[in-house]
Structure 1
Amino acid sequence: MRLPRPDAVLIQAAIAGALSFAHLHDVAEAAGQHDWKAWAYPVSVDLLLVAAWRRMRHLKSAGEPVRSAWTWFGIALAASLGANVATAGLLDLAHVPAWLRILVAGWPALAFFGGTLLAHGSDTTAEAEIPCEEADLPLYEPESPIDLPDAEPEPEVVEAPPAPAALPAASAPAPTPTVAVPAALVDHARKVADDHRARTGEPIDTETLRVRLGVPPHFATAIAAQLA
């Protein structure tokens, strides 16, 4: 059985973390925070440091500003670095100044505020869901406006001569006007029809096609005839 090889980086990180943890504890205890409260201060500082770093990486990967995360990361780093420097003999831990006692006493509220902002920051990646299952495709919007030709006027009805039985003559049916449909609109309509069939398993009807494309009824009829 092979034993895991020690990682020098992890060992160094553990030693540095333990020393920083102890320094924060010593400063908090010298500032009047005793027993479990003195041990809670280094935990709070390190957790805020990690939370700010994780939030900064998340915002950077999402392409969002990281200024707020950098601010709280700097605050936590200053608290940790300040405690390390203070225990190096530059500060008399037996006679802690009043300003340091105020900073240590006010740290819990500051850390809680910063942690709340980091944990509940706004995410812009979430998108609102569209209630209609077929509303995810945009209406056809060509780059250049398409001039829709007006429908041809209906031809005049020519009455047939009366039948021998004196029955009223039936009028000739009016021919269906032809509409020139742009090729780009037909291609887009074909994609819409294919998507509708894939979703519902049935061919798209003329009225649904008209709503999806946003075209007049006679245009939708002409397009549906070309798709048939």
Structure 2
Amino acid sequence: MSPTFRPDAVLVQAVIAGALSFAHLHDLAEAAGQTGWKAWAYPVSVDLLLVAAWRRLRTLRAADAPARSAWSWFTVALVASLGANVATAGLLDLSHVPDWLRILVAGWPALAFLGGTLLVHTSVESPPEVEPMADVDPVANSAVIEPGSADSDPAPALPAVEPASEPAALAVPPALVAHARKVADDHHARTGTRIDPDTLRARLGVPPLMAEAIAAQLG
């Protein structure tokens, strides 16, 4: 069965309002010296700019972008439409249209073309996506070269070591122990005291448990 056509009250009201506004714009353009097809083109131009500005507003709102320009052109088209409706309500003598109104009507095509071009061809820029920073393993980059140390070569990158309940249970790579021994010898030569686990941890940049395990192997 074919669907039954049911008139929508809102649609009917929109058609009536659009027809009246269209006629008012035509009458005003004709009174301002635009005759023939030109007088009929003015209502189309005003309504198209109004629709284009409204569609642009919805697009900018969806993209969370500034919509000041779209609001400006929407206001211009709305003022032109409302102005024509009010002017033809008897407040203006259409047989003696003032010069300023003739100038506005004559300059409307250029203004509408500019507004439509800016609304259509202005791109919406999305905010740049920020890539998340990669997690940095403090143990893998724990080798720190002490300034003035005899060995200026950096210690090799070490794999991540799971923390254990006791420092002695940690498996310390031999390369890290050798580097820690150089740091400890340099500290003893400069201060005359044996390096403590806290200072060793700060120099090497390792977790506290690993620093204690290294200090225990240094003896």
| TM-score band, normalised by shorter chain | 0.5 to 0.7
Shift of 1:140: 3.5
Give the letter for the 2:136 counterpart: P
Partner of 2:121: 120
Cα gap change, 1:140/1:85 in structure 2, threshold over 3 Å: closer, same or farther? same
Identity of aligned residues (%): 65
Shift of 1:148: 3.6
- Distance in structure 2 (CA, Å) of the matches to 1:52 and 1:183: 61
Partner of 1:180: 158
Cα gap change, 1:183/1:33 in structure 2, threshold over 3 Å: closer, same or farther? farther
CA contact (8 A) 2:46 2:112 kept: yes
Equivalence map 1:124-203=2 (5 Å): 124-125=125-126, 140=134, 142=136, 147-149=141-143, 180-182=158-160
Cα gap change, 1:56/1:143 in structure 2, threshold over 3 Å: closer, same or farther? farther
* Deviation sequence 1:1-35 (CA, Å, 0-9, x none): 55311100000000000000000000000000000
Runs in 1 of length 4+ with deviation above 3 angstroms? 125-128, 137-141, 143-148
Counting matched residue pairs gives: 152
Cα gap change, 1:179/1:101 in structure 2, threshold over 3 Å: closer, same or farther? closer
Shift of 1:181: 1.6
Shift of 1:123: 1.8
Does residue 1:75 correspond to 2:76, yes or no?
yes
Give the letter for the 1:4 counterpart: F
What's the Cα RMSD here? Answer: 3.1
Cα gap change, 1:141/1:97 in structure 2, threshold over 3 Å: closer, same or farther? same
SS at match of 1:80: helix
- Distance in structure 2 (CA, Å) of the matches to 1:2 and 1:43: 32
CA contact (8 A) 2:141 2:158 kept: no
Shift of 1:146: 6.0
Partner of 1:14: 15
Higher share of residues assigned helix: 2
- Distance in structure 2 (CA, Å) of the matches to 1:73 and 1:31: 23
Equivalence map 1:185-224=2 (5 Å): none
Partner of 2:50: 49
Cα gap change, 1:31/1:179 in structure 2, threshold over 3 Å: closer, same or farther? closer
Give the letter for the 1:121 counterpart: T
TM-score, normalised by the number of residues in structure 1: 0.59
Shift of 1:138: 7.3
* Deviation sequence 1:116-171 (CA, Å, 0-9, x none): 1000112213989xxxxxxxx87745397963437xxxxxxxxxxxxxxxxxxxxx
- Distance in structure 1 (CA, Å) of the matches to 2:161 and 2:33: 81
Cα gap change, 1:145/1:93 in structure 2, threshold over 3 Å: closer, same or farther? farther
Partner of 1:169: none
Equivalence map 1:36-115=2 (5 Å): 36-115=37-116
* Deviation sequence 1:48-92 (CA, Å, 0-9, x none): 000000000000110001111000000000000000000100000
